[in-house]
């Protein structure tokens, strides 16, 4: 009997120790889980703060661009137009003097170029058509401007089907396309550039393809405007993927971001 009691006591002690060990393990797991959740929440808050800070920085930059664009349009360009008109009136009075007429013509030509350049800079800083009529019209205007230069043939496909209601989101997309086109003009040596827009489920896909010289990995690291594009893609909660290319296949990039917030 004494032996049986001793065995029962030993068995009970083992069960109690097992239960205690399980309780300790459960407690440690719960504690670790709470610590992990707290860390994740802290990281999420930090990421949200960084995103908000980045968003505010870009918004401030765009506001400043808009202010400078208005100053150029309302101040500088309007004054240049008045000077140009006065030069035209002066030219009518001195046209009999050939030497003076040549000088006046040169000044008038310089003024015309300055006015056009001022308007172009103002438009690049803050396209009026984007604000008034939306992304589709702004892209169509950009398409016309680029194709008029005859540097390469630019095509947009599907852009009229992607309707973006949010003004700031539209501005990010326009700036990305603008930067891609500017890079193509400066570096690609392409003859054809195509940008496709597509709604894929809940996402917007934008595919850029050109038949230029392509981009090397070192160039991607150095920038070529891709840093600015990457910043805007982060604000759109999207990602940018470069397809492998060589000097003969041109540049291929895919952008993906949520259609709705």
Give per-residue pLDDT as tens, 38-84: 777 777 776 776 677 666 667 776 666 666 666 665 656 666 767 76
Domain range summary for the chain, segments of one domain joined by +: 1-126, 128-258
What phi, psi does 257 have (nearest 5°)?
-155, 160
b (16+ CB within 10 A) / e for 247-256 = eeebbbbebb
68-77, 178-187, 215-224: least confident range: 215-224
CA 38 to chain CA centroid, Å, is 33
Report the distance separating Cα 98 and Cα 87, nearest Å.
Answer: 15
Q: What is the pLDDT of residue 258?
A: 92
Q: What is the pLDDT of residue 204?
A: 93
* pLDDT at 186 exceeding the cut of 90: no
CA angle 189, 193, 195 (to 5 degrees): 145
Q: What is the pLDDT of residue 122?
A: 61
For the residues 159-166, what does the mean pLDDT come to?
86
Provide the mean pLDDT of the chain: 77
| CATH classification code of 128-258 | 3.30.565.10
> Is the Cβ–Cβ distance between 58 and 231 less than 8 Å?
yes
Q: CA–CA distance from 207 to each of 180, 233, 242 (Å)? A: 11, 14, 10
> Is the Cβ–Cβ distance between 221 and 231 less than 8 Å?
no
Q: Which helix (H) or strand (E) holds 53?
A: helix 2-71
* pLDDT at 104 exceeding the cut of 90: no
pLDDT greater at residue 60 or residue 204: 204
Maximal C-alpha separation, the chain: 139
Q: What is the pLDDT of residue 139?
A: 92
Tell me the sheet residues that pair with 153. 192
């Amino acid at each position: 009997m004494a032996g049986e009691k001793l065995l029962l006591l030993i068995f009970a002690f083992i069960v109690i120790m097992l239960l205690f060990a399980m309780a300790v393990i459960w407690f440690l797991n719960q504690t670790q889980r709470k610590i992990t959740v707290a860390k994740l929440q802290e990281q999420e808050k930090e990421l949200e703060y960084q995103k908000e800070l980045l968003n505010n920085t870009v918004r401030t930059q765009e506001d400043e661009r808009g202010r400078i664009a208005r100053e150029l349009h309302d101040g500088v360009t309007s004054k240049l137009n008045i000077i140009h008109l006065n030069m035209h009136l002066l030219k009518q009075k001195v046209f009999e003097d050939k030497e003076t007429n040549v000088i006046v013509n040169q000044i008038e030509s310089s003024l015309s170029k300055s006015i056009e350049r001022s308007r172009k800079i103002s438009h690049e800083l803050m396209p009026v058509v984007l604000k008034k009529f939306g992304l589709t019209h702004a892209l169509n205007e950009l398409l016309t401007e680029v194709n008029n230069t005859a540097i390469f043939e630019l095509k947009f496909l599907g852009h009229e089907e992607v309707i973006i209601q949010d003004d700031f989101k539209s501005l990010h997309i326009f700036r990305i396309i603008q930067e891609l086109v500017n890079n193509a003009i400066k570096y690609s040596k392409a003859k054809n550039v195509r940008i496709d827009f597509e709604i894929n489920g809940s996402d917007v896909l934008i595919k850029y393809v050109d038949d230029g010289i392509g981009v090397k990995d070192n160039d991607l690291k150095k920038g070529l405007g891709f840093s600015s594009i990457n910043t805007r893609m982060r604000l759109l909660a999207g990602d940018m993927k470069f397809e492998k290319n060589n000097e003969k296949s041109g540049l291929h990039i895919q952008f993906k971001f949520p259609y709705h917030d």
